[in-house]
Amino acid sequence: MSHTGRPGEPDKRVLRREILSVRGRLTADDVRVSAAELAGRALELPELAHARVVAAYVSVGSEPGTLALLDALRARGVRVLLPALLPDNDLDWGAYFGEDSLARVQHGGKMALFEPSGERLGPDAVTDADVVLLPGLAVDARGMRLGRGGGSYDRVLARLERAGARPSLVVLLYDSEVVERVPEEPHDRPVHAVVTPSGVRRFKEP
């Protein structure tokens, strides 16, 4: 469902196209350097320093890179959960044990995803997470996140709310993707922090 927000705001589809166009011009070196910077910034977060379980994801293409961060968290002894896309766009979860534990999965005409190849833990496994790293395309000054529009993480956030779980919600982005305002819909929820290569910005406490 499209939502244009306030007069003068771009709708979500327009903003997605603009951001994906910019990401599409990044080189492999750009992505690699940013991934290392992102990992360094994220690992300084107190929330991640004290986390026992982190729900995350494997970046693909020109997304802000996550693998360096996932491996660093595992090295700290953190249990890292990764999503597996279900046919209805909901997410199942499995544990990450390093790159060898990933399988490249093609979902119809969508971009291939890297998913955990081992045991599936069920959609409710995310409620055990102390921190949830959310993919996104932008975050605004209020902490509102723009996703890709598939609704998978809207379901995750709703599931956390129903369970009374209160993990820290963190988005990893490039610096230019922290914007003034993201169009929002009634089901959208703000995140607690965004990490970019240049630093961390907080919005609210979990």
74 labelled ligand-binding? no
Size of the chain, expressed as the number of residues it contains = 206
- 168 phi and psi angles, rounded to 5 deg: -70, 135
Nearest one of 124, 193, 192 to 160, comparing CA atoms? 124
Class of residue 66 by CB neighbours under 10 A (exposed 0-12, middle 13-18, buried 19+): buried
198 labelled ligand-binding? no
16 labelled ligand-binding? yes
Cβ atoms of 137 and 191 within 8 Å: the answer is no
Cβ atoms of 60 and 105 within 8 Å: the answer is no
76 labelled ligand-binding? no
Cβ atoms of 154 and 147 within 8 Å: the answer is yes
63 labelled ligand-binding? yes
Nearest one of 23, 49, 10 to 135, comparing CA atoms? 23
151 labelled ligand-binding? yes
199 labelled ligand-binding? no
147 labelled ligand-binding? yes
142 labelled ligand-binding? no
Q: How far apart are CA 4 and CA 1, in angstroms?
A: 10
58 labelled ligand-binding? yes
Cβ atoms of 3 and 187 within 8 Å: the answer is no
Binding site residues for substrate, as ranges? 58, 63
Binding site residues, as ranges? 12-16, 58, 63, 145-153
Binding site residues for ATP, as ranges? 12-16, 145-153
